[in-house]
A and B are shown apart, each in its own frame.
Chain A
Amino acid sequence: MAKKKIHIENTVRRLRFNNNEMTQLELADLVGISRQTVVAIEKYKYTPSLKLAFKIALAFNKEIQEVFYIN
Chain B
Amino acid sequence: MNIKIRNTLTEIISVAIAIIWMYSKLNAAANMSIASITQVLVQGIGISILAAIFFAIVIHIVSAIITGSKEKNVVDERDNIIEFYALRLSSVIFGISLLIILALLGWFNLHINFGIIAITLSVFLASICSTFLKIYLYK
Residues of A at the B interface (CB closer than 8 Å) are 28, 32-37, 40, 46, 48-49, 52
Contacts and interface: CB of A to CB of B under 8 A. Distances in A.
Contact of B74 (A33, A40, A48, A52): A33
Contacts of B138: 36
Interface in B25-75: 71-75
Contacts of B77: 33, 37, 48-49, 52
Given A34-B3, A34-B79, A35-B2, 18 more contacts: A28-B74, A32-B74, A33-B76, A34-B4, A34-B73, A34-B74, A34-B75, A34-B76, A36-B138, A37-B76, A37-B77, A37-B78, A37-B79, A46-B78, A48-B78, A49-B77, A52-B76, A52-B77
Contacts of A52: 76-77
Interface residues of B, number: 13
14 contacts: A32-B76, A33-B77, A34-B3, A34-B73, A34-B74, A34-B75, A34-B76, A34-B79, A35-B2, A36-B78, A37-B77, A40-B78, A48-B77, A48-B78
A14 to B, nearest CB: 21
Contacts of A33: 74, 76-78
Nearest to A39: B2
A28 B3 CA distance: 14
A6 B11 CA distance: 35
Please indicate which of the listed interface residues B2, B3, B71, B78 has the most CB atoms of chain A within 10 Å of its own CB.
B78
Contacts of A40: 78
A46 B72 CA distance: 20
A33 B34 CA distance: 47
A40 B76 CA distance: 13
